[in-house]
Amino acid sequence: MKFDRPNRSFLTQYLGLVLALFCFTPFLGHGAVAQSSIPIGVEQAIKRSGIPKDSISIAVSEIPSATNPKPGSRQILNWRDEVAMNPASTIKLLTTLVALDILGPKYRWKTELFTDGAIKNGTLKGNIYFVGHGDPKWIPEELDRLTKQLRDLGIQRIDGNLIFDRSAYAKQVMDEVTIDGETLRAYNVAPDPLLYAFRTLSFEINPNKTGQGSQISYTPKLARFTIQNDISMRPTPCDGTRRNLRLEIIPNPTEIASSQLKNKSAIQWKAVFSGELSQKCREITFNAVKFDPDTFLTLGFTAAWEDAGGLWVRPPSGQAGSVPVYARPLLSFEGLSLLDATEDINKLSNNVMARQVFLTLALEKVGKPADIESAKGVVQAWLNQRGLDFPELVIENGSGLSRNEAISARHLNSLLISAQNLPIAEAFANTLPAAGSEGTMRHRLITQLRKFLHLKKKPEARIKTGSLNHVRTISGYVFSKSGRIYAVTSFINDPKANRGQEVHDQLLTWLLEDGPDPKDAR
């Protein structure tokens, strides 16, 4: 096998060899004794940060590669790596790896539609029942495809309401529970079997080209929704002016159109922007969670149906409910693949998507209603089957948005090593963001990686990041300049953790440079 083009991803070049080694050689765990001292560059970064060394945990192991084809992994560095710590979003690696292995990368979520009525002369007279199964990325483009499929059934008008069946999840997992009380923030959105567009309105504000006033766009499109722009533009620097903007979403008096058959629906909601903004600011974004799930999906579906050319006999209402036994199926819609969802989860660290994937494990392996305990049981059974004993592991929701989730750096690293023994090893590693170019690692290690542009085999770091107040973490793979492959995990749990990025970047730089040289450590 040739290893001469490491461009697409480091695993693309060496995975065949790695898998062959694992297939024909038993997993040997940690081989040689690792150094327990911290590399000089990392040590210096720790001193600059002011973070106590006892608040840091590091585990590094070398795994088989073309450069080092010896079977089994070799532990390179352990610093307090056996201590259980809060992993933040790096726990998503466990959730996504188990899901990819159990469900398969091609697994797709379904959203089913039923009706208690009939289609006659282009009119569906009856209610539409939406049955959700936890699609984690049911976005406007997907809803557009669904409404087109409805139109293809010969439906031109709908004379009925919208009923949303969320029986796939236990009620308690859909409750609005947060770790910081910020219920209106997008990262805190609760799981929902019918989660549309993350239940989040995303606004973008830009000054007009004339320099007078501003324009506001938003997504997803909602019916019966208007924007009132009361922003004052000022000739001031852009820095900090965003803090002076305010958004309020309020109900409006309903004004029913004179001819509903012409699809002029009622105005029900208004987003009011006020405050000041610099004329020099561009692409100012606001993400807002302001609607309950039923209202948000009703307004979203109504707008999508109208954009597809569909009409209403009367503006619909939407509410939670169950599908009656006499309802008949209209269509079954397939959403994105698990592999695509995993890429979003790991590269962009989407919390609610991770939670929905976690619950999908329970839904598929145990049955509905899916709950946390069932999902935890599926994960634990998977670990047991592979001989992975993580006694300190605590899973609360599978996303890392938790003060209670815990694992040791050693065991999360063991998970990365064990992943190489699975058929989905390459696909899994490619869902992690590449340093300097993707996702949460897009702006990391850019300067360091430029030093290797002249090399035929360019080093690469694919690293999942995690952050909470007082928590900064990394976990993933590093492909060094000589072709060696490292699994690396590091946790910082400390009030000064927000200063820890340089510490982690120094650790990754050390590995990119073929770190484990005795003269580089003390």
55 with 143, same domain: the answer is no
Encode pLDDT of 332-372 as tens digits. 999 999 999 999 999 999 999 999 999 999 999 999 999 99
Please give the pLDDT value at position 8: 39
232 with 302, same domain: the answer is yes
Number of H helices and E strands in the chain, helices first, is: 12, 22
Interatomic CA distance for residues 204 and 202, integer angstroms: 7
Residue 486 domain flag? yes
Encode pLDDT of 112-161 as tens digits. 999 999 999 999 999 999 999 999 999 999 999 999 999 999 999 999 99
72 with 139, same domain: the answer is no
Residue 90 domain flag? no
As averages over each run of 10 residues, the pLDDT of the chain (522 residues) reads 34 35 34 68 97 98 82 90 98 98 98 97 98 97 96 97 98 87 84 97 91 91 94 84 81 54 57 91 90 95 96 93 97 96 98 98 98 98 98 97 97 97 96 97 96 90 98 97 95 98 98 71 37
520 with 449, same domain: the answer is yes
Interatomic CA distance for residues 209 and 219, integer angstroms: 22
Q: Strand 269-278 to strand 225-234: parallel, antiparallel, or no bridges (unpaired)?
A: parallel
Residue 373 domain flag? no
Interatomic CA distance for residues 237 and 239, integer angstroms: 6
- Residue 401 belongs to what H/E stretch? none
Please give the pLDDT value at position 266: 53
Q: Where are the beta strands (DSSP E) in 376-484?
A: 407-408, 460-468, 471-479
189 with 274, same domain: the answer is yes
Please give the pLDDT value at position 265: 39
270 with 419, same domain: the answer is no
Residue 399 domain flag? no
- Of the three residues 320, 337, 354, the one that is the final residue of a domain is 337
Please give the pLDDT value at position 517: 57
Please give the pLDDT value at position 160: 97
- Residue 71 belongs to what H/E stretch? none
195 with 318, same domain: the answer is yes
> Does the model's pTM come out above 0.75?
yes
**What one-character DSSP code corresponds to residue 103?**
H
Q: Is the peptide bond before 220 cis (omega within 30 degrees of 0)?
A: yes
- Of the three residues 317, 337, 357, the one that is the final residue of a domain is 337
User: What is the residue range of 63's domain?
Assistant: 1-79+409-522
**What one-character DSSP code corresponds to residue 1?**
-
Interatomic CA distance for residues 12 and 1, integer angstroms: 11
Dihedral of CA 215/201/90/464: which sign? negative
68 with 116, same domain: the answer is no
308 with 174, same domain: the answer is yes
218 with 255, same domain: the answer is yes
Residue 358 domain flag? no
- Identity of residue 466: G
Residues 6+ apart with CB under 8 A from 182: 188
- Residue 457 belongs to what H/E stretch? none
**What one-character DSSP code corresponds to residue 179?**
S
- How many structural domains compose the chain? 2
Please give the pLDDT value at position 235: 86
| Closest by CA position to 164, among listed 296, 317, 318 | 318
240 with 281, same domain: the answer is yes
Interatomic CA distance for residues 309 and 331, integer angstroms: 19
Please give the pLDDT value at position 19: 33
The partner residues of 434 in beta bridges, in order of sequence, read: 462
- Of the three residues 337, 366, 382, the one that is the final residue of a domain is 337
Reading the block at residue 262, the tokens are 């012409």
19 with 155, same domain: the answer is no
Neighbours of 125 (CB within 10 A): 16
* Cβ atoms of 136 and 341 closer than 8 Å: yes
User: What are the distances in angstroms from CA 141 to CA 220, 259, 352?
Assistant: 9, 29, 19
Interatomic CA distance for residues 111 and 197, integer angstroms: 14
Please give the pLDDT value at position 240: 64
Neighbours of 495 (CB within 10 A): 11
